[in-house]
Structure 1
């Protein structure tokens, strides 16, 4: 069921089920083994039985550990993340008391999977890696398979798709190598995970191939919960390919299975996507349609709230706000957005907060309350900066952790080499020249290895620096680097009394481009625009992507009239589409641009605010134009105190 949560995260950021996959080689007593077999069919019934058994009387440590182990699976299947983690950690604690190494490391797999459903999934990496190392050392292919799936799941939750894919491919290959080993997860089961990763990478046809493989397997094995997940994945992939008939067929079958199982959250996920299809297909809702959608979404919101699934609760509220907006009921839409903002703030959902503030600004603008719209835009900019800072800190901490692990491994290797050298020196007097030669050769190889590691680390540092300063999709400067360089240019302009122009350019109707031609076309448009900017403007100009379809341009030493001429020439160039974009009939690329001659009394934040207001003015005046202030005309804006 974790797959549904992750699929929903991707539409705006994560769970993958591994129910029973981690128990394929654990020798459970008959009572617990029977309950485990029922998890995929009726997890809520299993929870009820185990909770009653644990409440009845105290149990021996190993027996309770077995119950907690199965209970974690049942909670996991029901998408009750905190309960799944509590049960898994209790099983792990009891396993330590028993001294049973096999049970202990199976419980580590279980803890890793449960952390995958937690707010911070990163602790699951340590548990999963410990189980994987033990399984490989003790030649336990069942645990190795389960550990690979758990590590792939946690990395997927952490949005490290490349690492997740490597773990899932390893599990898939292991299954192919052991087709007759009942303890190893079947390749068709692992295929569902591979389908999900390809789906996130927008490789929808490859995702469909793996989802079909897993769906056939789950039908044959009567695994209803996993079948519902694979059908859900197929519905999402087909809808991404604009195959509405196939998408609806698979979504509806998935929902029917979830409702039959009493899986309210599973049905809620599917209902949310079905509403999304209806909203995409219907530009204006009538009163009946709006009422039906509102009733369905209110039930969905309540379901996610009861399960403490706050991320999806916010997603459902956003869908409801969109429905009200499409019906031109802006005040009701604003109420929903404000409700979602309260939840996002309470539970630290910063990315959601950024999106909600953008929607709040749009609604205020539709209500002609431009002052509130501007205030919402400023809040969105601040929230986006906070989110980027948090993301950067998280990535940096992860990088530091990886470096520390590498350092420890390297030190261990050096210690091992030193021990080997000392032993060789003790024996050297009794050995002939051949042994001495082998020792010298070994040391030489070690030196080469150290040099290789050093060179590799330098290259990795250079790559990390590049990634930190550029936008991955377009190759332009990212927001942080662009603003840093723009601030520097303001300082230089102030020092040398040189003119400096700055513009914010926003692609007109970019959402319509995405909705009409697909996100792949949208990505191609962004790449084309970035290439044209590099061609049309000077190498000394600052060009950066600071938002989804928003770009920052700074022209040192250039006055307003020259900047306007350059920008209009660039806009003309973008009207001539290359061959690969000309295939999209009706596609036109225009811009709304706010341009200012930067008053050197301003800092970058003030300048951005002025340019942003001019951009909104360009939008209001009909788009496809440059709106600018006359030289030194900054009326209505107070400079920052120097």
Structure 2
């Protein structure tokens, strides 16, 4: 015979001397306590994983997977929080497309819950994703919604995070004054350790953007200490990478290696491919600064390979320009040409004046090494113009950031004074204090402008001197450039005419030089030209000048030399080249030169005309069988060899 459950319960309770109606409330209380304990455990676990998501995303994903295996049946608020954690993990790993895809699925559900904290974190991640994807308008809209929700929470740390996000966008738009105001507001409001670390890191990025590398270094180091205290591995890696770059910019290359190596290890731990690639490239530049080009090229190749697999066109283009620069330093300009051609469109479109200036400077050096001097000169002119604008922009940005900090501090002090006035009625004292502080601010701004202007002038003068030296010297041989030969020749010919002295001009051309390039390659040809230029320079008188006129042609200016003395010098130069040991390539034959000699006369007013006469005599020497020096037609003849 079957017994109904109610009978069993009544019998059992009766055995205990208790009635069913008395024990039922106790059963309900125990059940509710179990449910409450489970809910509390779920909330605690989700809160812990949520905090871990931004610091150690790989570990957070493992804990989330374990949590979902244990707690399969969740209520709607908990399910939304699980999806939020997935968004935060994707945000920490810079998976912008995943951030937007997941957040689009749960935005309406989060709105239905009307949890301001969840909606703030969701819009924070969306703003970051839009920032990485370059969608500024969408990102700014997400920032506005993030600010609105953060104000609803009345949580100072969330508000500080909004200010950090706002500053990041403003820095990208080069609006440094409001960016500095936002970060100063964040510093004033922040309380938590994690939020404080984010504020310190953003302050370092602002200092980096305006070129204040000393401030950037100290700020990155402070941010690293804060991230380490809360166990944020991604933050630690980013701060160490920033410290390494700041040390490199300050010329402390050996000190930069340690932070960058640790940053690389941390990026691999958190599976941050972008950070790993950029840190590898930074290490390549550090080793280049330490005069270790082989290791620098190896690391650069590794960085380019990693960046090629990622959607980072601007970073890839910059890495290619850096590689071209390293190859030029190794006299491998031919290999640098395709890299410059690949990177050029991206660098020009990027709008970063510092990257553009370095690109034009590298392109100029490469073209000069390849003998394309006109194009090199055009690139150098673009470099000078771009670098001038970069310096002006840098000073402007630094002043804007300083104004932003001062304005934020001024507003904060004014608010504090207004509160004091309302409570204490000391309006006159507050006005006097404001006037004095404003006067100090004005004086500080004037001092910054003056110092910035003086610094810009000093830098520009140094740059102009360096560029002038580069323009006057041939990059391959170290003798005078063609342009400087023309300018100096005219001046020296005019001076000789005023002093009643004669002036002569030699045009030299290496015989059959094309055979060297065809048989042994352009590297051997470059070595030969350098050796010939050294041999020629050693045979000249103290006041004579020699320059590379183009290709394998050399121009020699002989102030005060008459026809006989010019012939003597010419023969000395021819003999020096003929007896030069051909060590520029194994098995190479000795080289010879042919030359034309022209003497300045009263009817020659332009140095170019004298140069043309010498060039005509040179062609006659070539036609006569090479390895000889010939005077211009109408002058005394000399044929040797």
Q: If the length of structure 2 is used for normalisation, what is the TM-score?
A: 0.50
Bigger-Rg structure (1/2): 2
Q: If the length of structure 1 is used for normalisation, what is the TM-score?
A: 0.50
